Amino acid sequence: MIDEAIFSLDSRKGVSRAAIKNYIAKKYPVGDRNGAINTHIRKAIKDLVEQNALILVEGATQKSSRYRLAAEVKQRMKKDASKAKSTPPKPK
């Protein structure tokens, strides 16, 4: 979900954690569990940064920083998106 949010928001400066949270809250049914959502997003971002799937753009801490997708992850997502668009649904 995190990489999908960053891919679709696609900002030149990177995407903040608050913007990722807003995207996920609008797209998926998460309800009113803000504390749990923040915890899960923070842990997922930390794991993705350690796996080098996300790049920390600015800020020394995770609270005030922005993130971008790593180049190989972004290319894979572009390829998957174009593949999904190019296959039309089969008529029944």
- Structure tokens, 37: 């959502």
pLDDT at position 9: 85
Query: Does residue 11 contact residue 20 with C-beta atoms inside 8 Å?
Result: no
Residue 30's alpha-carbon distances to 21, 33, 40, 80, 81, in angstroms, are 10, 7, 12, 25, 24
What span, in angstroms and rounded, lies between the C-alpha atoms of 80 and 63? Answer: 31
The pTM score is: 0.73
Tell me: the pLDDT tens digits for 36-54?
888 888 898 889 888 888 8
Domain boundaries, the chain: 2-73
What span, in angstroms and rounded, lies between the C-alpha atoms of 49 and 73? Answer: 12
The CATH fold assigned to 2-73 is Arc Repressor Mutant, subunit A (1.10.10)
Within 13 A of 66's CA, how many CA atoms are on the CB side?
11
